[in-house]
């Protein structure tokens, strides 16, 4: 996918007169966030996107970050803006996301972009669920008429994931912490997407034989000698024995999320100042 985006940038740049630009705002010194930002910057370089990363102290205030976002909204060299989550607890992440101009919302989380998803209109899509959809397409997973179960109802993954699957003509059920008879429900799924943030939560007994299992979870757990490692929401070793396809953690959906972030940035870049897209 990165090769496709690189070719698209090379074709557009002579007409637009500049490369696409992505601004990533990071607050504090979260090691995982720092690693994610470095990965995004390297991916941008491979595609030909200019990175405008800005790193702020952990005690940076809401007003200062809001002003930075407003400045980037007006910067003609910036096509995408991303606020790296999680933020320190004193900051209101949702309020900051609302300040990003919809046409520069690289994470696809602004209410206007989520509304376009609901209406089935073209627009920026939430990166992780869009990455899941791209992966399913790449592996020729048929969705029309299939039973899909999404574990999790967050605005970041669960809700947009359900909408995208529904748009692909799957029959979708969203499960959450209050769902009764959860294992019975998940056993009916042809496609099971886990996004609950609980390590190894989905066991083999919860999965139908031959199901496609997509693990969106990224959980840091302590291993031997106190060494941390990343695991997903799915008990991979055991579920792998039953699934027809399964995504690993790390290395599964994570790279697809970054790829869709680049895709969104290039999409905004290609739109330019079209009047049909709100500022």
Angle formed by the axes of helices 127-138 and 158-167, to 10°?
40
Which H or E run contains 24?
strand 21-27
Q: Which of 40, 103, 104, 208 is catalytic?
A: 40
Q: Which of 79, 105, 107, 233 is catalytic?
A: 107
- The answer to whether the bond into 86 is cis (omega within 30° of 0) is yes
Q: Is there a catalytic annotation at residue 242?
A: no
CB atoms within 10 A of CB 20: 26
User: Is 153 annotated as contributing to ligand binding?
Assistant: yes
Exposure of 272 in the CB half-sphere (CA atoms within 13 A): 7
User: Is 18 annotated as contributing to ligand binding?
Assistant: no
d(CA 165, CA 43): 27
Using alpha carbons, list the distances in angstroms from residue 173 to 53, 136, 142, 208. Answer: 38, 18, 17, 15
The two tokens of residue 128 are 């992780």
- Alpha-carbon Rg for the chain, nearest whole angstrom, is 19
User: Is 154 annotated as contributing to ligand binding?
Assistant: yes
Question: b/e string for 251-261 if b means 16 or more Cβ within 10 A?
Answer: ebbbbbbbbbb
Question: Helical H runs in the chain?
Answer: 2-16, 31-47, 62-74, 93-99, 111-119, 127-138, 158-167, 182-186, 236-239, 253-271
Q: Is there a catalytic annotation at residue 84?
A: yes
Q: Which of 84, 104, 146, 159 is catalytic?
A: 84
Q: Is there a catalytic annotation at residue 227?
A: no
d(CA 236, CA 248): 7
Instruction: Tell me if residue 51 falls in helix, strand or coil.
Output: strand
> Would you say 192 and 140 are in contact if contact means Cβ atoms under 8 Å apart?
no
Which residues make up each annotated binding site?
152-154, 218
Which residues make up each annotated binding site for NADP(+)?
152-154, 218
**Residues recognised as catalytic:** 40, 84, 107
């Amino acid at each position: 996918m990165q090769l496709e985006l690189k070719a698209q940038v090379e074709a557009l740049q002579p007409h637009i007169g500049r490369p696409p630009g992505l601004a990533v705002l990071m607050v504090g010194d979260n090691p995982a966030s720092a690693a994610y930002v470095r990965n995004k910057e390297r991916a941008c370089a491979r595609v030909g996107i200019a990175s405008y990363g800005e790193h702020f102290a952990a005690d940076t205030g809401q007003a200062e970050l809001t002003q930075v976002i407003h400045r980037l909204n007006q910067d003609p060299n910036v096509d995408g803006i991303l606020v790296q989550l999680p933020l320190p607890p004193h900051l209101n992440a949702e309020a900051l996301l609302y300040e990003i101009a919809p046409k520069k919302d690289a994470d696809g989380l602004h209410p206007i972009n989520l509304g376009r998803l609901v209406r089935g209109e073209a627009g920026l899509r939430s990166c992780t669920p869009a990455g899941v959809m791209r992966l399913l397409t790449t592996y020729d997973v048929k969705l029309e008429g299939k039973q899909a179960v999404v574990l999790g109802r967050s605005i970041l993954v669960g809700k947009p994931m359900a909408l995208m699957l529904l748009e692909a003509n799957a029959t979708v059920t969203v499960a959450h912490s209050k769902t009764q008879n959860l294992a019975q429900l998940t056993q009916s799924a042809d496609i099971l997407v886990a996004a609950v943030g609980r390590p190894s939560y989905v066991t083999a007994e919860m999965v139908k034989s031959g199901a496609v299992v997509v693990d969106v979870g990224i959980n840091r757990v302590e291993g031997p000698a106190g060494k941390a490692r990343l695991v997903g929401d799915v008990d991979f070793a055991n579920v792998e024995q039953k699934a027809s396809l399964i995504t690993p953690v790390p290395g599964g959906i994570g790279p697809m999320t970054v790829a869709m972030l680049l895709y969104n940035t290039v999409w905004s870049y290609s739109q330019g100042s079209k009047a049909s897209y709100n500022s």
